Structure 1
Amino acid sequence: MTAKIEVTPVSGKADLAAFIDLAYRLNGSDPNWVPPLRADMVELLTPGKNPFHEHARVQYFLARRDGRVVGRISAHIDELALAQPPEQGMGPGTGNWGLMEAEDEAVMHALIATAEEWLRGQGMTRVLAPLSMSIWEEPGLLTMGHDHPPMIMMGHHPAHYQGWIESAGGYTVAKLLHTYDLHNVADGFPELVNRIVAMGEKNPRIRIRTVNKADFANEAQIIIRILNEAWSNNWGFVPFTEREKAYAGKKLKQIIIEGANMIAELDGEPVAFMMALPDINTKLITMQGKLFPFNWARLLWWLRNPKSRNFRVPLMGVVTRLQNSRMASQLAFMMIEYIRRYAVAECGARRAEVGWILEDNQGMVAIAHAIEAKMNRTYTIWEKPL
């Protein structure tokens, strides 16, 4: 007879530690799973440390069988997401679950049912999942691309989780998010892209500049202002608060490389940006989530001079008035070419990923195809009426 599964809310430091530890135990044997730093996980989950909690209702749950922890899940409601138009994916009545880990299908189903029940109790009528936890953090479940490690700030999940979610009942695909791989950036881009870049370089109205890390607090404000405007009509969009802007700027400054991050100006006005980050995961994968006693020194040394062979382009934005224009495409090609030149020459870059990109974001998909990037990973977000 199978032992009963008990799902209870996380209560106290011991439960929170068990919630965090479970992911390391269940995924530790997967050579493509990158253990996050435990300190980062504590920060993510703790009110007062992560400003997401300032506009969210959050509850964590643990599943136990015979007293042993066998699963976890978060249930959460982003108040800012509730205020968004329903046609953009969020909207009134929409709650989420995420951060799920389970030893088997029965445990996963029990966790999902508990999260759904909690969301109903909070007045939600629809679930959009998984989100871990904000849409800006790790949206979706990896459903294609399990054969290679994720890059910086991306999730990696066991392949069987997809079937377990789909068999939970009532879930349909809401959106697919893709990443695109550039396998040898040293080779450069196709001639058409080079011509577009060269034409832009002759235009006196255009200036492509690197971010100024010495003034990164202000640079981050420019980037997030453009991001909030550029993405405001995108599926899943939730605006950044002022506290989140400052928090993101502080976190990104630790890993940002000036020459690999660009702001485009048109007639002296910042109108677009593109961010590229060195793949810190190549270091984290060997650290088992721990900075001490020696890993902090190794990581700090690498961050001071990150000769990364891998880069990820997680974000790009163009102000609304230029979207769907030739100028927008030209600025995008110029920024990504300038980033490519720097990353190859100064960091020894050989590979890059672009994404996430929404499956129906025709502009970004067209750019990915133009630079001959190949889809290499898919993340799936499901929805269900409650």
Structure 2
Amino acid sequence: MTDAEIVIEPVDGKTKAGRAAFVDVGRRFADETPNSVPQLRSEQLELLDPGRNPLFEHAEAELFIARRGGKPVGRIAACIDRIMLEMRPEQGFGPGTGIFGYFDAEDRPAAEALLAAAEDWLRTRGMTRVLGPISLSMWEEPGLLVAGHDHAPTVLMGHHPARYQGYIEGAGYEVAKRLFTYELDVSEDFPPLVRRIVQSGRRNPRIRIRPVDHANYTQDVRTVLHILNDAWSNNWGFVPFTEREIEYGAKKLKPLVREELTRIAELDGKPVAFMLALPDVNEPLARIGGKLFPFGWITMLRWLRKPRARTARVPLMGVLKEFHNSRLASQLAFMMISDIREDTTRVNGTTRGEIGWILDDNQGMIAIADTIESTINREYAIYSKAL
């Protein structure tokens, strides 16, 4: 086969048929990738629906499918997010920066053709730089898996064939940022140093650590996201949530946000930090093959009522900026993760924790991960290329 035999077809993402064709190509690749976990098709379709996902209130995207002899051999999405364009360049995005995501390719010629199509689409709209893969938000599945292919991903983490790294780097892309996830055995208590720090905090009458209150769920979610927007505001890759995205995210995550897996830290009655852990919904999804019908919905319903999960993932935590680089910040982090460890092992039978993603230069979080004796288990790369 030659490059000339590959045809790149734009897909109308505003139609159900277009979104379905694009999603189904990705699902075929996921089925063929060892250790990949099939996600719910309905959820994947919703993320691409401009009428349902508030991302598209400030972003536009073009979907492409590569075909050879009529057969789909890959897909890619190109996206311009107006909020990303407004960010400071030192935070990764900024004026002229577009992204690509949802990248799958059967071979190198297909990959090259797809990347070229995404680049051309961005270039014609005035973009001078492209980052990716980001599908299609930093809060969804950022980065390409470059280490850790030998085990399944946890909830909201991507999983890609090892060959994709060569395809992207071979097309002239360079690593802009690396993201790590860390794993640890939570069936055992933390090291003595961490236990002493936690006990000291528990004796401090100014500190209160509490779970998210489902009776005041909406208010607590807003509290968490207020802290997140402040705590992460200087981080590489940070993109603030809009009000509509807060409402949407709160609704989508509600079935997974559980009291034993969340904590808000208060100082003198003021919320100053939070930690959110999620039971690994990929465990039941793997059992049902990502299909609710005919009987998968029964498994999922039972699991959501009582999510017995071997693994819990901490995707988000934050401390208000005014406390960054202070002893209090790390103390609150250790107190929250210790409380969550105790509760999820007791309630959910959890034995394994995963923390991340964590930026490769986030020394504070890396120090916390090291102190609780966790180790890197997966590495993702976000690539950059001038257009």
Tell me if TM exceeds 0.5.
yes
Alignment of 1:1-386 (within 5 A): 2=2, 4-11=5-12, 12-169=15-172, 171-182=173-184, 184-386=185-387
**Is the 8 Å Cα contact of residues 5 and 110 (structure 1) preserved in structure 2?**
yes
Unaligned runs of 5+ in 1: none
Question: What letter corresponds to residue 179 of structure 2 in structure 1?
Answer: L
Q: How far apart, in 1, do the equivalents of 2:233 and 2:178 lie?
A: 19
Which amino acid in 2 is paired with 1:153?
Answer: L
What is the one-letter code of the residue matched to 2:32? S
Amino acid at match of 2:347: E
Whole-angstrom distance in 2 between the partners of 1:287 and 1:24: 14
Shift of 1:235: 0.2
- 1:307 is displaced (CA, Å) by 1.5
* TM-score, normalisation: structure 1: 0.98
Partners of 1:144 and 1:307 lie apart in 2 by 28
For the 8 Å contact 1:18–1:69, the answer to whether it is kept is no
Per the TM alignment, residue 31 of structure 1 is displaced from its structure 2 partner at its CA by 3.7
Question: 2:141, 2:30 → 1: CA distance?
Answer: 17
Deviation at 1:14, TM superposition (A): 3.3
Q: Offset of 1:25 from its aligned partner? A: 1.8
Looking at structure 2, the residues matched to 13 and 310 of structure 1 have their Cα atoms a distance apart, in angstroms, of 34
TM-score, normalising length from structure 2? 0.97
Q: How far apart are 1:292 and its partner, in Å?
A: 1.6
Secondary structure of 1:286's counterpart equals helix
| CA apart distance, 1:26 | 2.1
Distance apart, 1:257 and its partner CA: 1.1
Distance in 2 between the 1:347 and 1:290 partners? 24
The code of the aligned residue for 1:34 comes to V
- Looking at structure 1, the residues matched to 91 and 263 of structure 2 have their Cα atoms a distance apart, in angstroms, of 28
Question: Is contact 2:144–2:165 with CA below 8 Å preserved after alignment?
Answer: yes
Deviations 1:247-273 (A, max 9, x none): 111111111111110000000000000
**Equivalent residue letter for 1:178:** F
Gaps of at least 5 residues in structure 2 are: none
**Rounded Cα–Cα distance in structure 2 between residues aligned with 1:288 and 1:201:** 43
Q: Check conservation: 1:272, 1:318, Cα contact below 8 A.
A: yes
Instruction: State the identity as a percent.
Output: 58
Aligned residues between the structures = 384
Deviation (angstroms), 1:21: 1.0
The CA distance in 1 between the partners of 2:146 and 2:101, in whole Å, is 15
Cα distance in structure 1, aligned partners of 2:287 and 2:126: 43
Cα contact 1:213–1:253 (8 A) shared by 2: no
CA distance in 1 between counterparts of 2:64 and 2:288 reads 27
Q: What per-residue deviation string (whole Å, max 9, x for no partner) do you get for residues 50-103 of structure 1?
A: 110110011101111111111110000110010010011110000000001111
- Deviations along 1:202-240, one digit per CA (max 9) or x if unpaired, are 100000001012221111100000000000000011100
Structure 1 residues 103-153: Cα deviation after superposition (integer angstroms, max 9, x where no partner)? 111001100000000000111000011100011110000000000000001
Which stretches of structure 1, 4 residues or longer, exceed 2 Å deviation after superposition?
11-16, 286-289
